[in-house]
């Protein structure tokens, strides 16, 4: 299996991991669509290195995201060593999300808008 095939399999594996905060807010998005996966590299020895970033510097769930990524990546039989590193140089913003992720988030928000105790966009400050 060549490096490009392994890289494609790695991206597919990472798409099976959902951001825990998006699950908690009932707007499930995978870590790829969230924009948390910054890079996937496969070298000639079939070693896979993935760089991911947290949504905030104080994200307490990064360890579980890294663990899930490692587990999914280990399912790629042709891959040799798996390394998932946290990219602390990149600061995540919503603009990092994929177009599909932005569309999905907007859809989830629209579906749930009627559930809000106060219609979204109609909050007024007390004078």
Residue whose entry in the numeric block shows the structure tokens 């790829």: 32
pLDDT of residue 97: 95
The pTM of the full predicted model, rounded to 2 decimals, is 0.84
Query: Is 111 part of a structural domain of the chain?
Result: no
Query: Is 75 part of a structural domain of the chain?
Result: yes
E strands present in the chain: 37-42, 48-52, 82-86
Q: What is the CATH number of the domain that holds 82?
A: 3.30.300.130
Query: Is 65 part of a structural domain of the chain?
Result: yes
Q: How far apart are CA 23 and CA 47, in angstroms?
A: 30
Query: Is 122 part of a structural domain of the chain?
Result: no
* Nearby residues of 96 by Cβ (< 8 Å), 6 or more positions away: 34, 35, 36, 53, 90
Work out the burial of residue 14: count CB atoms within 10 Å of its CB; fewer than 13 is exposed, 13-18 middle, 19 or more buried.
buried
Q: How far apart are CA 103 and CA 13, in angstroms?
A: 21
pLDDT of residue 11: 98
pLDDT of residue 118: 62
Query: Is 92 part of a structural domain of the chain?
Result: yes
- Per the structure, the count of domains in the chain is 1
User: Mean pLDDT for each 10-residue chunk of the chain (127 residues)?
Assistant: 91 96 89 96 96 91 96 96 93 93 91 70 54
Structural domain boundaries, residue 32: 3-97
- Angle among Cα 47, 52, 57 to the nearest 5 degrees reads 145
């Amino acid at each position: 299996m060549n490096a490009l095939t392994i890289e494609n399999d790695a991206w597919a594996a990472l798409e099976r991991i959902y951001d825990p905060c998006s699950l908690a807010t009932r707007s499930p998005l995978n870590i790829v669509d969230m924009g948390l996966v910054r890079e996937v590299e496969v070298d000639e020895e079939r070693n896979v290195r993935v760089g991911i970033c947290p949504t905030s510097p104080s994200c307490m769930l990064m360890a579980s995201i890294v663990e899930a990524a490692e587990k999914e990546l280990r399912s790629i039989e042709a891959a040799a060593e798996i390394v998932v590193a946290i990219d602390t140089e990149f600061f995540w913003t919503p603009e990092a999300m994929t177009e599909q992720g932005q569309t999905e988030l907007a859809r989830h928000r629209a579906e749930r808008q009627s559930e809000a105790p106060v219609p979204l966009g109609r909050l007024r400050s007390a004078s």
